[in-house]
Amino acid sequence: MTDRISYNSLRDFINRLEKGGELIKIKEKVSPILEITEITDRVSKSEGGGKALLFENVEGSDIPVLINAFGSVKRMSMALGTDDIEKIADDIDSLIHMKAPESWQEKMAALPTLFRMSKFPPKVISHSSPPCQEVVTIGEEVDLTRLPVLKCWPDDGGRFITLPCVITKSVEGVRNVGVYRLQVFNPKTTGMHWHIHKDGASNFDDHRRAGRSKMEVAVAIGCDPAVVYAATAPLPPGIDELMLAGFIRNSHVDLVQCRTVDLEVPATAEIVLEGYVDIKETRIEGPFGDHAGYYSLTGDYPVFHVTAVTHRKNPIYLTTIVGKPPMEDCYMGKATERIFLPLLKTINPEIVDYDLPWEGVFHNCVIVSIRKRYPAQARKLMSALWGTGQMSLAKMILAVDESVDVHDYRQVARELLNRIDFEESLVITEGILDVLDHSAPKPLRGAKIGIDITGPEPDDERQSSLSQTDRSFDPFIKGCEDHNEIVSLNIPFTEVSSPLAIISIDKKAPWDGHRIAREAIHNDEEGAVKIIMALDKDVDPSSHSVALWKFFNNVDPSRDIFHEGGRLFVDATRKMKDEGHPREWPDELVMDDEIVKLVDEKWPRLGIDNSAVEDDPKPDFESGLD
C-alpha cells in the first residue's frame, strides 16, 4: 500500500498549497454577496481550474474565506495526500482482494497492512481545550451573521453555507457525515437541505418514526481535506465516512465531544455549529444556484437550531460555489469516480472502466466499458448499475466495448455515431432521478435511457456496419438555412455511419422542438443526416460541450427522444407546460451585469494572473468535444 501525506488540519493543507504555488491570497476588499462567486467562477473556468483563493478582507466579517481549494486535478490529489488519485484506488483494490494469510510467512507479510488498517477508525480524545473549541459561544450569544457566508447567485433565496460536514446519528447511534447546504435564516437558525435519498434524511426519518421530537446535529466547517472529501463520498449506508478519511490520511481522525449536543466532531475543525432539528418543523428553503447550472427550486426542509458556535482562534471559513461546469465540485467528483472504481468492479466484474462527464453533472451520464462475453450483457449491467447506490440516479448509461477509452470523448462519440442502431441499441425505462433533475414531468422519478453500442456476438443476428458512404450534406444545410425558425446548425462528425446535426431553433410554441427537428430533414432526401438534436436559440451548436450539457439536463428520454423513418430526433429545448411538463422549469445561472462590471474594475488589484483566465468569464467547458 502506498504512503501518503497526512494533514492534521485545514491549515496544514493551506500551508502546502502556498508552498506549492497553488494559493493566491487576495487582500482587496470583496463582498460575500455575489462578488466572491464571480471572481471564483472566472478562476474555476480558467485552464486547469486556476488556483485556490484565500480572501483575507471580506466585507462584514473578520474571518477570511478559502475557496477553490480542491478545484484542480493537482490540488485534489494534494488534498488526498498523493500525486495520483489512482494510487488510492489501487490501495482499495488491494484491500478488496487481500487474501487471508494461512502460513506463518504470509501472516508476517500481512502485518504492515493489518497495522495500518488499525489506524483507520476515528478516535475520541480527551482535551480540555481542543483547537475547534478555543472560542466557545453558547445560547443567546450565538450569531451566525458573523460568518462570511456567501450569497452565490443573484436569485438565491439568501446566504448559504455550502461546504459543511453535517454530522448526525441514527436512532441506533450509527454516525453519518454528509455535505448538505445550510441557508442562514437568522442569527440562530438555518435550513437543513438534505435530499430525500441521503443518509442524513434517512436518520431524520428514523427519529420521526421512533417518535423523537428532535435530532441532534453538529456541523463542522473547515476540516482537514480527507474529512471534507469523505463527507462527499457515496459510501454505503452504515459505513463511517471518518473511517474512509482515516484510510486516506493513513491516520485516525481525532474527535472531541461537543459542548451542547451528544455528538463528536473533528478536533481541528475551524468552526463548529452545534444544535438540533425539530422533527415537526419545516421552512421554505431556496432557491439556490446548484451544480447542474440551474436554480434548484424552493421546498420545505427541516430547520437547524444552533445552540452553540465553537471555533479556533482566527478561524478560516472554507466554502465552495457550484454552477455550470467546470467548477470545484467537478474535480471532487472525478476523484470519487476513480476511487470507487474498484468497488464498482467488485460488484460488476465485467466493468473495465467508466467515466462521469462533467457535462452530465455526474448523476446524468455514465460511460462504461465492459468485457463482453454474451448477448445482452450490457443491458444486464445497466440494470445492475441502476440498482446500485448513487448510480441508481443516473439518467443515461452508455455501454461501449473494452477497447474504447471512456475518457476520450471524441473516440466515444465516433463509436456511438458508427455503431448506434435506433431499433436495437436503445433501452428506455423508468426509475428514481436526482432531486435536481428538472426535465422529468414528476420530481424524483422519470425516464432513463441505456445505449448499448457494444459489438455483436458471432451468433447475434444484429450486425453493426462501420462502412462509410459518400454523402452530401448540402441539401440538409440549404434546407436549414431556408427555414426561418432554425437559427444555426453544426455537424460535428461527417465521416460516420449516423451523422448528427445540432440545430438551434427559435422556439415559440409547445412541441416546436419536435416539429422543427422533423422539418429540418425535408430537403435531405438521401438521408445524409441520421440524428437531429434541437436546442434553444441562445445555444451555439458548435459549442459541443454546452450542447451536451443541455442534452443531459433538458431531455426526458421517453418524451424527447424518438425515431421514425430511419432517423433519431432529440428535443433538448426548454419545455413548456403544454408539452406534458407541469413542473416549473428553472432558470440558468447568470451573474448580474453590475457584479460583472464591479469585478472587472477590481480585477487588476486582485493579484490573479490574467494569463490564466480567459477573457470570457463563462468559457466553453474544457472536457467536451471541441
Report the C-alpha gap between 382 and 396 in whole angstroms: 9
Closest CA relative to residue 79, chosen from 307, 284, 237, 249: 249
Report the C-alpha gap between 195 and 602 in whole angstroms: 37
Asked if 143 is an active-site residue, the reply is: no
- Axis-axis angle for helices 86-96, 328-339 (nearest 10): 30
CA-based torsion, 367, 372, 374, 375: positive or negative:
positive
Closest CA relative to residue 623, chosen from 417, 447, 367, 401: 367
Closest CA relative to residue 110, chosen from 122, 120, 98: 98
Report the C-alpha gap between 297 and 606 in whole angstroms: 34
Report the C-alpha gap between 298 and 311 in whole angstroms: 31
Closest CA relative to residue 242, chosen from 271, 219, 220, 266: 266
CB 300 within 8 A of CB 283: yes
User: Cell digits for 396?
Assistant: 443515461
Report the C-alpha gap between 377 and 102 in whole angstroms: 37
Question: Helices in 365-437 by DSSP H: which ranges?
Answer: 377-385, 409-419
CB 226 within 8 A of CB 214: no
User: Cell digits for 271?
Assistant: 468552526
Kindly name the residue from 41, 199, 240, 290 that is annotated as catalytic.
290
What is the three-state SS of 133-188?
HCEEEEHHHCCHHHCCCEECCCCCCCCEECCCEEEEECCCCCEEEECCEEEEEECC
Q: Which residues pair with 400 in a beta bridge?
A: 369
CB 332 within 8 A of CB 338: no
Q: Computed over its alpha carbons, how large is the radius of gyration of the chain?
A: 25
Residue 506: phi, psi to the nearest 5?
Answer: -90, 85
What is the three-class DSSP state of 448?
A: strand
What is the three-class DSSP state of 452?
A: strand
Where in the sequence numbering do the catalytic residues fall?
Answer: 290
